[in-house]
């Protein structure tokens, strides 16, 4: 086989790409010497500095720009903007920055100490304690566990390296300096940016945590990488010792490790899964909780890349406030898949309506459920975080369980999935009108005073403060333990929960504060991972997956708090979160589960009745001669209106039935996409609307009922065997009824259709009602037109030809519409008389002999 120049060039590019990929996979970081913080090489083979922990700044920073890297937000987490006055402008005077090192929100209830403090009562979490002594519950780790070092774990708020500055100024540990109060930086050392935490496969995170909780800050990297074994504990007053693992060292003292270029996902998810399993139930490499991107071999950095500055690309989240300038710096689902980036599949959404694609985020359908328990909130009354699991009944976050996301609207009214997280905690309303969170140690002290008055109403083994008498007991307990507290000018404890903020008024009665504390008691954690394979996505099989009476999307439990009056969490239907009240989702379910099947049966019943009528009575044999040019029945305008109305109705029926019944095979056969079906449906609808209005105007006078129409109705137009002649004008009673039927239904169809086109102008309940009415009217109109078509064609052979040239014979007119024909004859006689100038005109006879007496009606 031969190839042209262009083919050879393409094959060359493929070969080059494969070669580069192979080199990347086979590439290994070259051996490097280890250096301590004073830039002395460490070589355990010769014993040189073998008792010193190595420094990542001096070791990795030899080749890499350490200062640029540690300026990244993962290392700073707001520390580069920390200030004692930062929070005053945001109504949170205790907050020092938006980042996680100095920032605050109830889920991380420790309050970071200011640099300058007046009294020990004001100090909760110092920089030193943040690293290794900030555990807030049995299932948590200290904050430093997932902070990679550098930034505030290496330098104080004035830019000094903690260990060196405290060693030079040992008195600082006795001051109220939030960076040095009761610290041991001079013995623990600092936590430099740990490059291995992200880039080393097999990094031992648990060992790192163990070393940080011992106060062995500068030794943690040695133990976690496995390069050495660390013994001793700064916390216990010991000097840690190192036994380096000599098998990692070459003869020249350099070290060769399984270093990975881009961080492997296992390293990313240790920290992110550790926290996110409590917030979102998120797990990455989990067979119970499938993630299609992981199954396809993707890594975290494929969607969250970074340059050498280590500013990792972010999505958009209203929760994280650090590095907001990077929000949206990664490709989202649409950008990636619609462009086919990196071989991403192109979405077809052949079973999903275009409006759903526009109004719902990709995650809504593609993350139908989470299969690990998470938490729906926490209670901090005891001084530790007590998590309430979701779904209720599970033991702890991370256990196997199945639950569905909560749905709420965000930017542009688009629906997104969330885990709604509720918080119950305690604060103090000071003289300045600000709610200051109580420290966990203060909550723990108060808990000891009233714990005997709290019952476990939901029987989960944990206390739940949910009844008024329990809240009152807690408020009184905190008022007692806060008496004399130097950080407050006024003691006024407040209980904060999803139901609001409560305190005791001057008379000692439980009273709700008149302020919105939603942001202090509720967080919506967005759900973006654990994307299921397409075959498991909502809407893949049928609309009923979301619209059934028991479907989670509308009827699933949406928990609105942690505890109800009797203990278990209260909930409301899921649809409330997206603006669909009980009326809307009941009607939606009724439409899909009852009306749609019934209308299908109704359409088949119409066909059955037509067939039964034809076999029972047969067609009417009234002679009809096309192109007779005897009597003009329909003008060109009328024929045009009827023709275009008919064509548009047929198109509307085909496209409408495809959308209503989600007939994917027919959609694929006739159209290129669901969007094309919708577009053609709208265009045909506009034509139908115009012709309906024109028909209403043109035929209005002829469609008015007269007394003689009663006779037609009495004998049902002769269609059930009556043989007499029935009086009829230009339109018989059946045609008049059909006129009003199609006029009313057609105009209602047009109005509801226009509302559905501009659906953003109506509320969701109104939209559901409109959609249901539109579909129901469509089925009714189709049934009527099918019957009309039968009566105008098969039941009366040849009659439809009048709509081609507009003419009928005299005999046809006399038998079908005798009164109309009589008026024509009278006009002709009057015209002849006027022309002859005589009193009476020559008689006008019908063409041919009278036909047998039979029904004079046309459909």
Count CB neighbours of 370 within 10 A.
27
| Residue 623: pLDDT band with limits 50, 70, 90 | low
Mean pLDDT, residues 225-235 taken together: 96
Q: What are the DSSP E strand ranges found in 474-592?
A: 493-497, 500-504, 510-512, 522-526, 557-559, 571-573
pLDDT at 389 over 50: yes
Does pTM top 0.85 for this prediction?
no
Mean pLDDT, residues 663-688 taken together: 90
pLDDT at 675 over 70: yes
Mean pLDDT, residues 682-694 taken together: 93
Weakest mean pLDDT among 250-259, 304-313, 688-697? 250-259
Weakest mean pLDDT among 100-109, 365-374, 422-431? 100-109
Q: Which helix (H) or strand (E) holds 356?
A: helix 354-359
Which one-letter DSSP state was computed for residue 796? S
Residue 704 CA to its chain's centroid (Å): 53
- Write the CB contacts of 7 (distance below 8 Å, at least 6 apart in sequence): none
Give alpha helix (H) positions in 618-708: 636-660, 664-670, 674-698
Tell me if 245 sits within 8 A of 223, measured CB to CB.
Answer: no
Tell me if 418 sits within 8 A of 524, measured CB to CB.
Answer: yes
**32: which 2 tokens?**
């490097």
Mean pLDDT, residues 584-610 taken together: 77
Residue 500: the pLDDT is: 93
Distance between CA atoms of 513 and 494, rounded to whole angstroms?
A: 9
pLDDT at 554 over 90: no
Residue 487: the pLDDT is: 94
Distance between CA atoms of 91 and 602, rounded to whole angstroms?
A: 63
CA distance readout (Å), 858 to 319, 636, 850:
69, 20, 18
Closest CA to 127 of 168, 161, 85, 98: 161
Mean pLDDT, residues 524-532 taken together: 91
Q: Which helix (H) or strand (E) holds 714?
A: helix 709-714
Count CB neighbours of 580 within 10 A.
23
At residue 757, the 3 state secondary structure works out as helix
Weakest mean pLDDT among 330-344, 439-453, 454-468? 454-468
Distance between CA atoms of 481 and 461, rounded to whole angstroms?
A: 26
**Between β-strands 415-429 and 400-403, what pairing exists: parallel, antiparallel or unpaired?**
unpaired
Closest CA to 552 of 583, 589, 597: 589
Residue 798: the pLDDT is: 67
**Between β-strands 370-372 and 510-512, what pairing exists: parallel, antiparallel or unpaired?**
unpaired
Tell me if 196 sits within 8 A of 263, measured CB to CB.
Answer: no
Residue 241: the pLDDT is: 97
What are the pLDDT digits (tens) for 288-303?
Answer: 888 999 998 899 999 9
What are the pLDDT digits (tens) for 11-47?
Answer: 333 333 343 343 344 457 889 999 999 999 999 999 9
The string of DSSP letters for 540-572 reads: SS-THHHHSTT-HHHHSEEE--S-BTTBSPPEE
pLDDT at 840 over 60: no
| Residue 841: pLDDT band with limits 50, 70, 90 | very low
Weakest mean pLDDT among 308-312, 634-638, 799-803, 827-831? 799-803
Distance between CA atoms of 747 and 766, rounded to whole angstroms?
A: 18
Residue 198 CA to its chain's centroid (Å): 30
Which one-letter DSSP state was computed for residue 43? B
CA distance readout (Å), 310 to 77, 114, 301, 307, 695:
13, 28, 11, 6, 68
Mean pLDDT, residues 318-325 taken together: 82
**700: which 2 tokens?**
């209005």
Mean pLDDT, residues 571-584 taken together: 81
| Residue 147: pLDDT band with limits 50, 70, 90 | very high
For the CA atoms of 197, 198, 202, 203, what is the dihedral angle to 10 degrees? 0
Closest CA to 477 of 610, 382, 395: 382
pLDDT at 818 over 80: yes
Return the higher-pLDDT residue of 792 and 116: 116
Q: How many CA atoms lie within 13 A of 145 on its CB side?
A: 24
512 strand-pairing partners: 502
Closest CA to 242 of 234, 232, 230: 230
Answer left, alpha or beta for residue 508, where phi above 0 means left and psi between -120 and 50 means alpha: left
């Amino acid at each position: 086989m031969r190839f042209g120049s262009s083919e050879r060039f393409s094959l060359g590019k493929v070969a080059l790409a494969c070669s580069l990929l192979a080199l990347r996979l086979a590439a290994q970081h070259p051996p490097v010497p280890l250096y301590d913080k004073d830039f002395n090489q460490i070589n355990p083979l010769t014993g040189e500095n073998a008792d010193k922990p190595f420094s990542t700044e001096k070791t990795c920073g030899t080749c890499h720009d350490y200062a640029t890297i540690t300026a990244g937000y993962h290392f700073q987490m707001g520390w580069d903007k920390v200030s004692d006055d930062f929070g005053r402008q945001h109504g949170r005077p205790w907050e020092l920055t938006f980042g996680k090192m100095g920032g605050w929100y109830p889920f991380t209830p420790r309050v970071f100490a200011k640099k300058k403090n007046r009294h020990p009562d004001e100090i909760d979490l110092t920089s030193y304690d943040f690293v290794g002594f900030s555990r807030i519950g049995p299932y948590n780790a200290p904050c430093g566990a997932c902070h990679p070092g550098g930034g505030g774990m290496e330098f104080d708020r004035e830019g000094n390296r903690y260990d060196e500055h405290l060693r030079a100024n040992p008195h600082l540990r006795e001051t109220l300096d939030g960076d040095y109060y009761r610290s041991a930086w001079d013995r623990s050392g600092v936590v430099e940016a740990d490059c291995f935490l992200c880039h080393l496969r097999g990094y031992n995170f648990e060992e790192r945590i163990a070393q940080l909780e011992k106060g062995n800050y500068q030794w943690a990297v040695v133990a976690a990488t496995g390069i050495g074994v660390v013994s001793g504990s700064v916390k216990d007053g010991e000097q840690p010792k190192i036994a380096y693992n000599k098998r990692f060292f070459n003869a020249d003292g350099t070290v060769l490790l399984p270093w990975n270029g881009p961080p492997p996902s296992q390293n990313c998810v240790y920290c992110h899964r550790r926290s996110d399993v409590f917030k979102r139930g998120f797990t990455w490499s989990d067979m119970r909780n499938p993630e299609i991107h992981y199954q396809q071999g993707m890594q975290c950095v494929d969607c969250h890349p970074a340059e050498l500055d280590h500013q990792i690309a972010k999505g958009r989240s209203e929760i994280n406030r650090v590095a907001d300038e990077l929000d949206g710096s990664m490709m989202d689902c649409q950008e990636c898949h619609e462009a086919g980036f990196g071989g991403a599949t192109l979405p077809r959404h052949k079973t999903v309506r275009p409006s759903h694609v526009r109004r719902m985020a990709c995650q809504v359908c593609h993350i139908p459920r989470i299969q690990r328990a998470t938490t729906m909130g926490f209670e901090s009354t005891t001084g530790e975080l007590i998590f309430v699991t979701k779904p209720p009944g599970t033991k702890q976050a991370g256990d196997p369980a199945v639950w569905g996301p909560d749905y709420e609207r965000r930017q542009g009214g688009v629906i997104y999935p969330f885990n709604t997280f509720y918080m119950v905690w305690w604060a103090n309303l000071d003289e300045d009108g600000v709610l200051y969170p109580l420290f966990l140690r203060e909550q723990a002290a108060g808990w000891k005073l009233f714990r005997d008055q709290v019952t476990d109403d939901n029987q989960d083994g944990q206390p739940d403060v949910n009844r008024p008498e329990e809240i009152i007991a807690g408020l009184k307990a905190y008022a007692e333990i806060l008496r004399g507290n130097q950080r407050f000018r006024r003691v006024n404890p407040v209980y904060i929960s999803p139901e609001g903020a409560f305190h005791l008024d001057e008379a000692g009665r439980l009273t709700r504060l008149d302020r919105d504390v939603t942001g202090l008691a509720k967080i919506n954690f967005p759900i973006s991972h654990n994307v299921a394979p397409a075959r498991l996505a909502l809407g893949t099989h049928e609309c009923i997956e979301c619209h059934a009476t028991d479907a989670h999307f509308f009827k699933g439990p949406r928990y609105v708090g942690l505890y109800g009056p009797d203990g278990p969490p209260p909930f409301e239907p899921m649809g409330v979160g997206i603006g669909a009240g009980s009326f809307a989702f009941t009607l939606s379910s009724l439409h899909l589960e009852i009306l749609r099947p019934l209308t299908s049966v109704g359409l088949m019943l119409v066909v059955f009745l037509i067939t039964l009528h034809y076999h029972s009575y047969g067609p009417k044999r009234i002679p009809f001669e096309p192109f007779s040019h005897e009597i003009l029945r329909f003008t060109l305008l009328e024929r045009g209106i009827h023709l275009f109305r008919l064509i548009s109705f047929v198109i509307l029926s085909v496209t409408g039935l495809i959308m209503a019944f989600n007939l994917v095979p027919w959609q694929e056969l006739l159209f290129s996409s669901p969007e094309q079906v919708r577009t053609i449906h709208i265009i045909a609808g506009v034509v139908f609307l115009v012709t309906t209005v024109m028909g209403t105007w043109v035929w209005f006078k002829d469609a008015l009922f007269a007394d003689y129409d009663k006779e037609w109705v009495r004998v049902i137009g002769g269609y059930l065997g009556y043989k007499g002649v029935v009086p009829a004008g230009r339109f018989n009673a059946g045609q008049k009824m059909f006129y009003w039927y199609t006029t009313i239904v057609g105009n209602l169809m047009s109005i509801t259709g226009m509302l559905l086109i501009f659906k953003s102008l109506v509320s969701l309940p109104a939209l559901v009602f409109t959609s249901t009415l539109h579909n129901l009217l469509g089925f009714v109109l189709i049934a009527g037109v099918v019957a009309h078509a039968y009566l105008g064609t098969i039941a009366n052979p040849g009659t439809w030809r009048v709509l081609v040239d507009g003419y009928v014979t005299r005999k046809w007119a006399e038998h079908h519409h005798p009164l109309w024909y009589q008026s024509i004859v009278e006009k002709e006689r009057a015209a002849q008389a006027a022309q002859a100038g005589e009193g009476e005109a020559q008689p006008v006879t019908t063409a041919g002999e009278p036909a047998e007496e039979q029904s004079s009606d046309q459909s």
